[in-house]
Structure 1
Amino acid sequence: MINIPRGTQDILPEETKKWRYIETKLDELMEFYNYQEIRTPIFESTELFARGVGGSTDVVSKGNVYLY
């Protein structure tokens, strides 16, 4: 069995329906106020955080590293 990365969770079909409803309502509200959607990566490389907050902080030293 493959474990999902720490801090993540699967969203199963019944829960997906609820999420889709909420997302649709938020999309409608955002469109009404002229906001545009931006999608950022789900996972970022460790170097991004090392540059931004320093390589010796907890964010970098305790973070998971994923190779791709």
Structure 2
Amino acid sequence: MAKVSIGLDAELVVEVMVLAGIGSPQDAVEAVVRDYIARGHRTEARTELKDRTLREADATPQEPQG
């Protein structure tokens, strides 16, 4: 996997390390990024299921009203 080097504010990284309980700055930031991506995938999965259910309900022929 390709590596990317970025600069971050030291206070921000220390905060992440403390909250995550991880001693390595790189590991702590990587854990946060991986969690962010996982949350996005979970959100997509939930909204996709809801959207599919709504589309199926709209596609069902409705009985005439009147």
Would you call these one fold, judging by a TM-score over 0.5? no
Higher Rg of the two aligned structures: 2
Length-normalised TM-score, structure 1? 0.33
